Amino acid sequence: MNTRLDFVGTPIAAKLLKHVLSAGRVVNDSALPAATQELVALRVSQINGCSVCVDMHTKEAAHRGETSVRLNLVAAWREATVFTDAERAALELAEQGTRVADAAGGVTDEVWATAAKHYDEDQLAALVGLIAIMNTVNRLNIITQQPAGDYRPGQYGQHG
C-alpha cells in the first residue's frame, strides 16, 4: 500500500498532526489508568479498521505489561471475564462514542452513568477526549492509507 500523504514532509499535515498529538498528551498525562487508555484506543481502532493504530496500541500495551489474553479479547470484551467493571464501562462508552452514526441516540444515559460510577470528572474528560482523538487519528490514517506493521513501542516518544 502506498501512503497518500506524508504527515512529516507536508507542512500543513505535520502541523495538524502535531496539534492532535498534543491533545493526546493531555490524555496520556491524566489520571485515567494507562491500561484503560490502551484498551480503549485499541477498541476504537478495531471498530474503525485502523491498522496503524491497532498495531501501535497492541504493541504499546504489550510493552507496558498487558497480557496477550486481554489484548486478544478486546474485540470480544463483552463475553470475556478478564476485564474489570471499570474497563468494561470504558469500552462500552468507547464503542457507543465511536459508533455515533450507527446509534440513533449516540451515547445512552445508562452507559454514561455506568462510566461515571467508575471514573471521576477529570477521568471522564480524559476518556471522552481519548475516544474523540482516536477517532480523529483513525480517520487521518485510513483516509491517507498509512501503512501498518513496523511500529516500535515508544517510536514517537508517546503513544496515541
Torsional sign, CA 78, 111, 96, 87: negative
Domain residue ranges in the chain: 34-143
Domain 34-143 is of which CATH architecture?
Up-down Bundle (1.20)
What is the Cα 38 distance to its own chain's centre? Answer: 6
CA neighbor of 23 nearest in space, from 98, 128, 107, 101: 128
**Structure confidence at residue 159 (pLDDT):** 46
Low-confidence residues in the chain, pLDDT < 50: 159-160
pTM given for the model: 0.93
Task: Write out pLDDT tens, residues 11-28.
Answer: 999 999 999 999 999 999
What is the spatial distance between Cα 115 and Cα 113, in angstroms, rounded to a whole number? 5
**Structure confidence at residue 157 (pLDDT):** 65
